[in-house]
């Protein structure tokens, strides 16, 4: 290589290094800076712990950090296990910052046959749990609570199990309807995470919700799970649209932030925005990188996918 070619190559490499450093610094500012005023177009909802390296262990500080980074919602699967005074503090901070609270887990016993049975004791237990869930919803001003219908019964015809699930959800739905709140049922995949569960697909959940015929019983569409179970994500969203109340997010394979797998989240988010979706999208996934760098990358991934 002659001297002129060497110099040109060196200058190009130096420019690339400067550009990369600037990009890295800009991205790190998203995490370490005090505020990022640009709000996301959709209500992506992080959970406690996803930004604790940047915000610290205090739950209220984590909410403040989420809001400062442009997030308009958050969720907490373990909300019902927290002390009531902590729940109230969480609700107060969310209200102060104009953030929505996504569905918390009300009932999800993966190992038991519950909704698929006609057992009166089980039904009484479910109704009791629903009443406890309504109390929590009212305390934290939540619209939704999440229910997983449990395991399927290997000794009972599938259609009978479906009928039993519908009947049990009718009872549960009545409790929530009286309170003006919503149960969201979640289909989960068999192949990677939850073998043996009764509810696995969006069309199945749609059929059940139509049969229950209660506006307080809807679906949470977990995009990660449905990519594994059935794919065809956007058409299934459209087909079940009137029964979907919330979404869960995670890329596949790996269940990490968007852009790490095969799901085109930018197109999905654009589609939801075009349809006028104003609910939450819970970021129920891990991070592809550890520490503050991983938290920065998660925020950047949502910025990239929200840029439509």
Q: What is the pLDDT of residues 36-51, one digit of tens each?
A: 769 999 999 999 999 9
What is residue 36's predicted lDDT score, i.e. its pLDDT?
A: 74
SS3 state of residue 147: strand
Question: Is the pLDDT assigned to residue 33 strictly greater than 70?
Answer: no
Nearest to 71 by CA among 301, 290, 308: 301
Residue 7 has pLDDT above 50, yes or no: no
Q: In angstroms, rounded to a whole number, what is the distance separating the alpha carbons of residues 114 and 109?
A: 8
The yes-or-no verdict on residue 279 having pLDDT over 60 is yes
Residues serving a catalytic function are 186, 284
Look over the chain and give the mean of its residue pLDDT values, rounded to a whole number: 91
Q: How confident is the model at residue 30 (pLDDT cuts 50, 70, 90)?
A: very low
Total length of the chain: 308
| Tens-digit pLDDT profile for residues 215-243 | 999 999 999 999 999 999 999 999 999 99
- pLDDT value at 177 more than 70: yes
Q: Does residue 306 surpass a pLDDT of 80?
A: yes
- Alpha-carbon dihedral sign for residues 284, 40, 237, 211: positive
Percent of the chain with pLDDT over 90: 88
The pLDDT of residue 5 is above 70: no
Q: Is the pLDDT of residue 270 over 90?
A: yes
Domains of the chain: residue spans and CATH: 37-306 (3.20.20.150)
Which has the minimum average pLDDT: 16-25, 92-101, 129-138? Answer: 16-25
pLDDT of residue 35: 59
What residue spans of 215-280 are helical by DSSP H? 223-229, 233-239, 265-274
Which of 205, 113, 207 lies closest to 155 in space, CA to CA? 113
pTM, full prediction: 0.89
State the DSSP H helix or E strand holding residue 74, giving kind and residue range, or none if neither: strand 73-74
Tens-place pLDDT, residues 103-127: 999 999 999 999 999 999 999 999 9
**pLDDT reported for residue 8:** 44
Coil, helix or strand at residue 220: strand
Query: What mean pLDDT comes out for the span 187-197?
Result: 98
């Amino acid at each position: 290589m002659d001297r002129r070619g060497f110099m040109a190559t060196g200058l190009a490499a130096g420019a690339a290094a400067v550009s990369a450093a600037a990009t890295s610094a800009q991205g790190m500012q998203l995490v370490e800076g005090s505020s990022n005023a640009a709000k996301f177009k959709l209500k992506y909802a992080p959970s406690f712990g996803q930004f604790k390296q940047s915000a610290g262990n205090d739950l209220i500080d984590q909410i403040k950090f989420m809001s400062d980074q442009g997030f308009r919602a958050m969720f907490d699967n373990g909300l019902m296990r927290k002390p009531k005074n902590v729940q109230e503090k969480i609700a107060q901070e969310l209200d102060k910052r104009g953030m929505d609270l996504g569905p918390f887990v009300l009932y999800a016993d993966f190992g038991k046959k519950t909704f698929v049975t006609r057992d009166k004791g089980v039904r009484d237990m479910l109704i009791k749990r629903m009443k406890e869930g309504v109390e929590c919803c009212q305390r934290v001003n939540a619209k939704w609570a999440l229910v997983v219908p449990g395991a399927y019964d290997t000794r009972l015809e599938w259609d009978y199990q479906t009928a039993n699930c519908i009947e049990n959800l009718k009872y549960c739905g009545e409790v929530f309807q009286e309170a003006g709140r919503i149960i969201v049922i979640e289909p989960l995949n068999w192949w990677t995470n939850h073998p043996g569960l009764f509810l696995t697909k969006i069309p199945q959940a749609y059929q059940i919700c139509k049969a229950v015929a209660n506006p307080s019983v809807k679906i949470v569409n977990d995009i990660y799970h449905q990519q594994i179970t059935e794919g065809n994500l956007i058409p299934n969203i459209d087909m079940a649209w009137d029964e979907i109340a919330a979404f869960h997010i995670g890329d596949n394979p790996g269940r990490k932030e968007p852009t790490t797998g095969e799901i085109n989240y930018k197109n999905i988010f654009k589609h939801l925005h075009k349809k006028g979706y104003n609910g939450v999208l819970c970021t129920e996934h891990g991070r592809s990188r550890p520490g503050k760098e991983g938290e920065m990358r998660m925020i950047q991934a949502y910025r990239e996918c929200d840029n439509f």
